[in-house]
Amino acid sequence: MGELQHENATEALLTRHGAPRPASDWAENARRAARARMLALGAAGRRDEYWRYTNPAVLNAPEAPEAEILQLDEAPVFDGFDKLLITFVDGVYQPDLSDDLSGEGLEVSLLDEALDMDIHWAGELFGVLEAKGQHPVPRPFAALNTALAGQGVVIRATGKVSRPVALRYCRSELRSDVLIHHVIRVEAGAELTILENGAGAARLNTCMEVDVAEGGSFHHLRAQGRDHARLANTHIFARLGAESHFKSFTLTVNGALTRNEVVIDINGDNTKASVAGASLGDGDFLHDDTIFITHDAQGCESRQVFKKVLKNGATGVFQGKILVQPDAQKTDGYQISQALLMDDDSNFLAKPELEIYADDVACSHGSTCGAVDENALFYLMSRGVPRSEAQNMMIIAFLDEAIQEIENQAMADDIRSRLIGWAERHSA
Amino acid sequence: MFEIKNLKASLEDEDKQILKGLDLKVGAGEVHAIMGPNGSGKSTMSYVVSGKGGYVVDEGEVLLDGVDLLEMEPDERAAAGLFLAFQYPVEIPGVGNMTFLRTAVNSQRKARGEEELNAAQFLKLVREKAKSLKIDADMLKRPVNVGFSGGEKKRNEILQMAMLEPKMCILDETDSGLDVDAMKLVAEGVNVLRDGKRSFLVITHYQRLLDHIKPDVVHIMADGKIIKSGGPELALEVENHGYAGLLGEVA
Ligand SMILES: Nc1ncnc2c1ncn2[C@@H]1O[C@H](COP(=O)(O)OP(=O)(O)OP(=O)(O)O)[C@@H](O)[C@H]1O
Ligand SMILES: [Mg+2]
């Protein structure tokens, strides 16, 4: 009986989005395989080890909740930067709101078009990195995404791409329930920056598969919009070749539920990976970072830097793992997750994990939560800084270790100004 | 004129009174020193006066130019002209020293209805003051007090004081941890601020500092009260004979 219900719930998920535009055989095979994976995994449930802190019920529900669309009173994040803009409204590509899909050192196409063609490299990635990322931790919403997503971009960087590719996710419907899937390949020695901005949907499920070849460099910066009631479950699956660089930073302010999953496989020697995030929530807010980094090569460095500011009953979740395989000697793994609790109603749940099978490694992890340091607050105030401003200075200071993970200083400053904006809007 | 009247204060969490009826008057332009055994309540006095949490005022008043400070938030007291150089300056990772200083200066100006300093004006001022205290540009760029040596922290306190130009300065053991040269720098920093109107209350254990900053009055504090006041010779007496005799006189 229970089994059957579970199966029905999974079936229901697979029917709630409608079918994407049919694609060529290889892509349809990949989708079918994802569907089978999804059925085998079953829907996410509270009993699953990595869904204990975050209740997936609202993500499993037949319909997306109604989420009011926030009218921005400021320029969008990354607005001031030269970029190749690609706009989706309610998860649908908008040619008239997008730039030409071309650029130096760059091949860009839309997912549904790419899946209908015979693009060799895309066939080796689409659904492949996602499938690999299902072990040992199941990620049913990612399989669902591969099985049913019809929108997204397929990008190949062949050289140093100077302009970032900016994916903008806008909203027009209150209850949009959206799947977006991106496939990205950074060729050997190539460089690519991807920006993502916007809430995108009342319920957004994104999946980004990223393959970085030897010596390639991939930077990802994301701001998840400011809409309050929206839900998001995002996935990044990355495979990193030797001497490559990978950096991903996410800014999350507001949102009833956000679950950001990042799965990184470090496959080549002397690679550097960093995943970082700053999230700020006030009231009805749950933010979950679930990270899994596998070191399967020598001399690699990985960093996880996550900071959360929580107030008025907001909840933060961090589940971060570093797995060091037996041959991954000289691994340098760093992980820190911290929450600043602005009151007693807010809480932070952390599950930091290290699993190490090599003997010559340096891994450190730390997880803390606490209130604003009263001594520091008094020190600032004793110099004439009013309490709310002093508190905001402390908030920004607390978050800065995560912001420092961003390589581009101008973009880091843009993010900083957003943090200040949030802190000012939400100061007591 | 700065005045503490019969100040009694206790710890918030424990039923323990630390200040037990403290009286003190520092006239405009005067320098007073407070000496007293460890644990007599000198730092507690400075904290209660500047509005730190964790203490309850049981009785008394603290007046700066006739205005009662005790009802005010710490930032309002600062804007009213009070400054405390901390015995243990606080490290604040992530907050840049310059940002902090500029925010502080402009917050006070704003609170007093004065025009705020723009970036260029501020920079010019801070460079000038930092130079005389031998604080280099690198220290200004670092987070507040983070990685500063004991002496650097104390010089940074004096820099803040110089920037904020308060009416009433309380210096809590600003001399401790300073080498001889740094002590002279700090003393000079204080002396240039003596303008006949600004008042100082210097808490110290050593006569040494008072050779450089000449006090008008020296107070001896013990068990939460001022037990004796006198001229600079009182500091010499402490230096030479310790507190035993003075405490005995009172008992
Ligand atoms: N927050 C506190 N919790 C517990 N005891 C405290 C607290 N603050 C002050 N006290 C106690 O109050 C007394 C006075 O302390 P205070 O720091 O004011 O002394 P002081 O005169 O500045 O000493 P020193 O010369 O060592 O700096 C001490 O007995 C101290 O232990
Ligand atoms: Mg003291």
Q: For A241-294, how does the pLDDT look when each residue is reduced to its tens digit (9 = 90+)?
A: 999 999 999 999 999 999 999 999 999 999 999 999 999 999 999 999 999 999
Q: Is this prediction's ipTM beyond 0.85?
A: yes
Residue-level pLDDT at B132: 84
A153-200 pLDDT, tens digit each: 999 999 999 899 999 999 999 999 999 999 999 999 999 999 999 999
Please state the rounded mean pLDDT for residues A10-39.
95
The candidate with the shortest Cα–Cα distance to A274, out of A300, A308, A313, A304, is A304
Backbone angles phi, psi at B11, to 5 degrees: -75, 140
* Residues in A touching B105 (Cβ below 8 Å): 384
Is a pLDDT exceeding 60 seen at residue A411?
Answer: yes
What pLDDT is stored for residue A207 in this prediction? 98
pLDDT value of residue A1: 39
∠ CA(B235), CA(B236), CA(B237), 5° rounding? Answer: 90
**Which residues lie at CB < 5 A from ion ligand 2?**
B 42-43, 87
Asked if CATH classification 3.40.50.300 holds for the domain at B2-250, the reply, yes or no, is yes
- Please give the distance, rounded to the nearest whole angstrom, from the Cα atom of residue B75 to the centre of ligand 2: 22
Mean pLDDT of A385-397: 95
What's the whole-number mean pLDDT along residues A322-336? 98
Residue B40 DSSP class: S
Closest residue of A to B111, CA-based?
A: A384
Rounded mean pLDDT, A30-50: 96
- B100, B153, B161, best to mutate vs chain A, most A CBs in 10 Å: B100
Query: 100-119 in B: which are within 8 Å (CB) of A?
Result: 100, 103-105, 107-108, 111
Q: Which pLDDT value is given to residue B51?
A: 97
Instruction: Report mean pLDDT in 10-residue bins for chain B, 251 residues.
Output: 97 96 96 96 97 97 96 97 96 93 96 94 93 86 92 93 96 91 89 94 92 94 96 91 80 51
Q: CA nearest A335: which of A395, A288, A274? A: A274
Q: Which of B2, B20, B3, B23 is nearest to B11 (CA)?
A: B20
B40 lines ligand 1 (CB under 6 A): yes
Give the confidence band of A3 by pLDDT, cuts at 50, 70, 90. low
For residue A132, what pLDDT band results from cuts at 50, 70 and 90?
very high
* Structure-block tokens of residue B124: 């010019």
Using a pLDDT cut of 90, give the percent of chain A over it: 94
Over residues A363-371, mean pLDDT: 95
Cβ atoms B171, B202 nearer than 8 A? yes
Q: Work out the average pLDDT over A37-46.
A: 95
Report the sign of the C-alpha dihedral through residues B26, B30, B33, B39, in that order: positive
| Domain residue limits, chain B | 2-250
For the residues A395-406, what does the mean pLDDT come to?
A: 95
Instruction: Map residue B92 onto helix, strand or coil.
Output: strand
Whether A420 contacts chain B with CB within 8 A: no
Residue A13 reports pLDDT greater than 70: yes
The predicted structure's pLDDT at residue A5: 67
Burial zone of A49 (CB within 10 Å; 0-12 exposed, 13-18 middle, 19+ buried): exposed
Check residue A357 and give its pLDDT: 98
Do B75 and A376 make contact, defined as CB atoms within 8 angstroms?
A: no
Q: Grade residue A2 by pLDDT with cuts at 50, 70 and 90.
A: low
Does position A4 have pLDDT exceeding 70, yes or no?
A: no
